[in-house]
Amino acid sequence: MLACNCYVLAKRTGADAIIVDPGQRAMGQLRQILDENHLTPAAVLLTHGHVDHIWSAQKVADMYGCPAYIHPEDRFMLTDPIKDFGPRLAQIAFGALFREPKQVVELDRDGDKVDVGGVTVTVDHTPGHTRGSVVFRVSEGPEDVVFTILLGYATLALISTWSVREKKLRS
């Protein structure tokens, strides 16, 4: 199994939510978090295009009718997550056929902003891990919350004016 952090970001319960990096087997815990908090996914944000971070992006985006956001340098990985080996190898190796979500928005400028459910996310292009790697920043109150490339948790972050509360669920 390929693991990575998957974040659910919302202003409050009952609001629109942003899903960050829905990886392999994210759906069960993701549905649990969404149901328990009465959240509706309104965007899927991808920090980069590696298979462990995009695995469930198409499923989440298309199931909830929301766009997936990715840097254009990594967009090809939505259908070819094992670059240069072709989509057929990914199907053989992982038993999965990867497709682009119906709605894809390219984050093509450093400093792009995504506004969803009262939460503004700033996008910083940080090439290195992949050519299209990005970091997402949320500024609410006195501190920033930064979403980058991490491993191992499904997390709910409820953003309030003064604090960020996290609920971590082991994958």
Model confidence over 76-103: pLDDT tens digits?
999 877 665 555 555 555 566 788 999 9
- The CATH number of the domain where 19 resides is what? 3.60.15.10
Model confidence over 30-79: pLDDT tens digits?
898 899 889 999 999 999 998 888 889 999 999 999 999 999 999 999 98
Residue 147: predicted pLDDT: 52
Domain enclosing residue 144, as ranges? 6-164
Please check whether residue 169 lies inside any domain of the structure.
Answer: no
Please check whether residue 38 lies inside any domain of the structure.
Answer: yes
Please check whether residue 154 lies inside any domain of the structure.
Answer: yes
Model confidence over 101-131: pLDDT tens digits?
999 999 998 999 999 888 889 999 998 888 9
Please check whether residue 170 lies inside any domain of the structure.
Answer: no
Please count the structural domains in the chain.
1
Positive or negative CA dihedral for 29, 31, 37, 43? positive
Q: Where are the beta strands (DSSP E) in 11-163?
A: 16-20, 40-45, 68-70, 104-106, 113-116, 119-125, 134-140, 143-147, 153-159
Give the pTM: 0.80
Residue 85: predicted pLDDT: 53
